[in-house]
Amino acid sequence: MIRGLPYGLMAGVILVCLAGLVEPLAAHAILVKSVPAADSAVDGPDIDVKLSFNVRIDRERSRLVLVLPNGKSVMLKILEQDKPDSLSARATNLTPGSYVLRWQVLASDGHITSGVIPFRVNNP
């Protein structure tokens, strides 16, 4: 016994303390790059959308929604992933104006992350 505690209990206390110091191996999905970039202006009427994250994401459980200048929302079809940490789609027939791309992804750690990317479409 150490200071009145059985060895098994002392080992458990030490393990619990050490577990609090260890950083988790998995991380939430953080957007590291987007096309279009936030607050950028792009030429339409068709644009490619590509989002890159810091971790692998689940394409099947991820969503890309384009909010149009009139406030209506359109779900974008996510294309086959060329990399496990990215999503891509194509938005077509866009008119000039302000848009918002809303994204939601399921990361490899099992957590859902979401965000928005405002951008503007100019005349082609």
Residue 11 lies in a domain: no
State mean pLDDT over 75-95: 95
Note whether 75 and 87 are within 8 A (CB). Answer: no
CATH number for the domain harbouring residue 59:
2.60.40.1220
Phi and psi at residue 107, to the nearest 5°: -85, 170
20-59 per-position pLDDT tens digit = 443 344 568 999 999 999 999 999 999 999 999 999 999 9
Residues comprising the chain, all counted: 124
Q: How many domains does one find in the chain? A: 1
Identify the helix (H) or strand (E) that includes residue 56. none
- Long-range own/partner contacts, residues 16-23 (CB < 8 A, 24 or more apart): none
State mean pLDDT over 55-80: 96
Domain carrying residue 46: 26-122
Residue 16 lies in a domain: no
